[in-house]
Amino acid sequence: MTKFRKLSMEDLDRISIEKFRKLEKNPIIIVLDNIRSANNVGSFFRTADAFRIQKIYLCGITATPPNKEIQKTALGATESVEWEYFENTPELIEELKKQGVLTISVEQAEHSVMLDSLPHEFAEKTIAIVFGNEVHGVDENVMEKCSYCVEIPQWGTKHSLNVAVSGGIVLWELVAKTKRNTNCLSQAGK
């Protein structure tokens, strides 16, 4: 006798897109700075849906829906997650800061803070987290405008993660560490 049983779609009790759109979101904004791969963009949409992220900004050369490659990995999350195209990432960062949003870039850089050591200041504010190009990372002009730069601790030989994988790690850490998901889960009727 096995002690685990895979859950069916009915067991998961998924909410509709319409209900999802009405629910309170975690006050986290994703900013994609010149992401080359539409598959990575789609992965961010799917992760944003899973963690009930407030919004995604697609900047520069980042592909936008509708796009077959985005849909392949987003699995419909482009319909549930609010998004907007904004051409100039540094201008977007300035605009978000004017709105009181705490801006954080994810990059290996001098004076970066390890993800597991972020100050508690971020727990009280809406956060915009910037992920950069698969080859060049977050543009230095964007990094300079951000309040923090965080780095994911790594102990291997590559010191490199796929940007969508980095997104999943960082977003999980932010949601779990701040317990922001508590209110959102209670609204889902679970």
SS3 for 56? strand
Q: What pLDDT is stored for residue 23 in this prediction?
A: 94
Q: What pLDDT is stored for residue 135 in this prediction?
A: 95
Structural contact between residues 122 and 129, judged by C-beta atoms closer than 8 angstroms: no
pLDDT at 189 over 50: no
Q: Tell me which of 13 and 139 has the higher pLDDT.
A: 139
Cis peptide, bond prior to residue 66, ω within 30 of zero: yes
Structural contact between residues 34 and 59, judged by C-beta atoms closer than 8 angstroms: yes
Q: Which tens digits make up the pLDDT trace of 76-120? A: 999 999 999 999 999 999 999 999 999 999 999 999 999 988 776
Stated pTM of the model: 0.91
| Average pLDDT value over all residues in the chain | 91
Burial of 22 (0-12, 13-18, 19+ CB in 10 A): exposed
Q: Tell me which of 47 and 178 has the higher pLDDT.
A: 47
Residue 190: band (very low, low, confident or very high) from pLDDT cuts 50, 70, 90: very low
Residue 146 is classified by DSSP as S
Provide the phi-psi class of 137: left if phi over 0, else alpha when psi is between -120 and 50, else beta.
Answer: left
Q: Which tens digits make up the pLDDT trace of 2-14? A: 789 889 888 888 8
Task: Please state at what angle helix 163-178 crosses helix 38-50, rounded to 10 degrees.
Answer: 20
Distance in angstroms (rounded) separating the CA atoms of residues 76 and 17: 9
Residue 181: band (very low, low, confident or very high) from pLDDT cuts 50, 70, 90: low
Q: What pLDDT is stored for residue 179 in this prediction?
A: 65
Mean pLDDT for 11-26 is 92
Distance in angstroms (rounded) separating the CA atoms of residues 118 and 149: 10
